[in-house]
Amino acid sequence: MTNEAMALAIALPLLGGLATAAWPTRSRGIGIGILTVLLSGASVTWLFLLMMSHGEAYQLLGGWQPGLAIVLHADALSTLMLLLTALVTLAVSVYATHYFRSSREAARFWPLWLLLLAALNGLFLSADLFNLYVTLELLGLSAVALTALGGKRESIRAALRSLVVGLLGSLGSRVGVAMLSAAFGTLDRQQVGKRIAVDPASEMALLLMTGGLLLKTALFPLHFWLPAAHSNAPAPVSAA
């Protein structure tokens, strides 16, 4: 049952995002968007209770073996982060139903918002470095699009700046992941953790990945792009 809960935590926001894109008029108020966030929160709560009862769990997707399959992993830390994400996204979603009053604004917001939620859930459940990279990219791209949602010149300029910075950070992370894959023949987190050693390749990969993440997360002193993004993004997006 834990495996089904992990899959639902990612699949529900993705399906909800597709549904809000297909039927935008049904995403306003207590519509598809809010219902999807509630169902996603319920699946995360279910996963947390199962994990507390049965311990951490793994799931292999696609019928492949570890190393090729997409591997999901739920433990105490990841499920705690999922619960925090569910609480924040629920609060933001409730506020967004009043903030985006026009059907046109809501139609643009909800698909991107649910894609961001799916990326966050996938990020916390990913058990290999490649899927961590993929979910970080989905998270960044959806956040950039949400920042530009207002359509004003300042919003678009701030979004483009955050996109360029995010791409630079992604480049560093991607090169670091490629170096680890070449050095150890796997991107599974546990396998890399067992094989990694103090050597130039590992140190360079760690430096590139850490630098890329510092840039993407706007930690001081690499926060130069964040104030404009916050001040020009819609209030629900800035809160998230």
pLDDT in tens, 96-154: 888 877 667 777 888 989 999 999 999 999 888 888 888 888 888 888 888 888 777 88
The chain-wide mean pLDDT, for the chain, equals: 83
For residue range 6-16, list pLDDT tens digits in order: 888 899 999 98
Select the more confidently predicted residue: 19 or 26: 19
- For the cut 70, the answer to whether the pLDDT of residue 63 exceeds it is no
pLDDT tier at 81 (50, 70, 90 boundaries)? very high
pLDDT at residue 197 in the model:
76
Question: What percent of the chain has a predicted confidence (pLDDT) above 90?
Answer: 16
Q: What is the pLDDT of residue 22?
A: 81
pLDDT band for position 80 (cuts 50, 70, 90): very high
The CA distance from 85 to 75, in Å, is: 15
pLDDT value at position 69?
67
| 89: confidence class by pLDDT, cuts 50, 70, 90 | very high
Is the pLDDT at 26 greater than 70? The verdict is no
57-71, 146-160, 168-182: least confident range: 57-71
What is the per-residue pLDDT for 66? Answer: 61
pLDDT at 215: 84
Identify which has the larger pLDDT, 156 or 2: 156
Reported as a pLDDT band with limits 50, 70 and 90, residue 28 is low
pLDDT in tens, 38-56: 999 999 998 888 888 887 7
